[in-house]
Structure 1
């Protein structure tokens, strides 16, 4: 069975969700429910820290796209934390699926939580 846990905390005026494990067809509902719960509780700024996600398939990317759409529909904002693949080896598969599906441009992606919260650009190269 696919395992995904999601820790939640407040960071400045952002709801910070930290999924850990794999985001796929089976486990994606856990993350989707946490994002919907945060929005239902009034959060309009959600930060997803993907640094502990070791696998994400196309259905997992679909969950991220739906989260982005949900937040935009209510005037909110979604940002992703995705460290450079060379800095956190577990993130390499997530970088690869983003590159393969060509979805990186859809998201506001930062290498760490402080730069995501401040909005600083944290550009980095995707693996080949």
Structure 2
């Protein structure tokens, strides 16, 4: 579920992000921050379902990363997880997708550009 890609820690999430599984994702994010890893990518390419608990974990993760001057990026491909990213559609429908730095794949999310290196902003 976790790998290093340069300065980035990549957490791969698959299946469902719901009331049952979201606490594990939250714990992995907290563990990464506690270990001093403040550049985090959540790869949500293979998430098939996300409910309000999953969205809550994403928003809480963003808040946590901001509190430690960290960076959080989401991988939300236009295609994948069978007919487009479910999480991408959910976040857009709720109007919170704009809160996140979203990328189509791992190479883009872990690439270095001047705009990509800025910390999260409100």
TM-score, normalized by length of structure 1? 0.82
Provide the rounded CA distance (Å) in 1 between the counterparts of 2:57 and 2:83. 19
Provide the rounded CA distance (Å) in 2 between the counterparts of 1:58 and 1:13. 30
Count of paired positions: 114
Give the CA deviation at 1:93. Answer: 2.2
Query: What RMSD over aligned residues (CA atoms) do the two structures have, in Å?
Result: 1.6
Q: Which runs of 4+ in 1 moved over 2 A?
A: 87-93
Q: What SS does the aligned partner of 1:43 have? A: coil
Give the CA deviation at 1:19. Answer: 0.7
Query: Any idea what the Cα deviations from partners look like across 1:60-103, whole Å, max 9, x if unmatched?
Result: 01100100100110010100001113x55264322221122111
Provide the rounded CA distance (Å) in 2 between the counterparts of 1:117 and 1:17. 12
List runs of 5+ in structure 1 lacking aligned partners: 1-6, 122-128
Give the CA deviation at 1:52. Answer: 0.9
Corresponding residue for residue 29 of structure 1? 23
CA contact (8 A) 1:83 1:110 kept: yes
Provide the rounded CA distance (Å) in 2 between the counterparts of 1:91 and 1:34. 25
Corresponding residue for residue 39 of structure 1? 33
TM-score, normalized by length of structure 2? 0.86
Corresponding residue for residue 64 of structure 2? 70
- Structure scoring higher RCO (CA < 8 A, sep ≥ 6) equals 2
